[in-house]
Structure 1
């Protein structure tokens, strides 16, 4: 069970990390005015779905009503919340409603990009910073999972076949 938990956490970390990588790359292309491909638009649609899951996680916390995707939504909300709180321009206290508003603004701006509308370079920079921080956090998390897994293994468990005594 322990190994399965590590592998599941690592698979989830890779899943989200690779998505964040693709989102940042797509936003970089948008930022330099490259035309977005259908693949880019699909990636941005996935980013909108991600933000919806984060908002859903926040809603589940505030209402106390949990859905079948609660664990993943809550984990993504927690990860996003830690990123939002560590973003450079947040020097004052913020409340849940303000965090929700920030996430909704990110979602709306991403939807505008998908539709071909222009948003300000400051907004692009902010969205890119958010997803870049998410990808760095996810990379650190993946490394911690991997390091923790290998540290927990004893050397003799890596043997593929039993030793033959002579």
Structure 2
């Protein structure tokens, strides 16, 4: 409600409320929070799916496979390059400096790790972006369509990442 009065997104309000509740130690059972948040995202995406027609999905294909594929590939390459060379990446040094992290927690050990992390960083939160677009009335616009197309491709791009992760993990453990 405060965010609505301030003419800001309710999503940001929920985000900041979560930070405050966490810092105050009010919510202790994080498993329940995780389940609740997953249901919230599912319902939000379900609502957005109800608003899509097959004709609109066809129209979004040009955005998804044109701009979306380009965005994912170029962002993955950029983030991957930022994480190379293994065991001494610029990105690792920046994280260590900014967050005073231990190098063993943030150090990229292989090119495979750099690519997976780069691909993950190239993706956006569909739930967050779609809610913001809906609040601003941008979904039916050309900008909203382009954004939705890109987000759909990003959601599809998660599948290969989820397939690759167990393979990489088994290679590391051997």
Query: What is the TM-score of this pair, normalised by structure 2?
Result: 0.30
Q: Which has the higher contact order (CA 8 A, sep 6+)?
A: 1
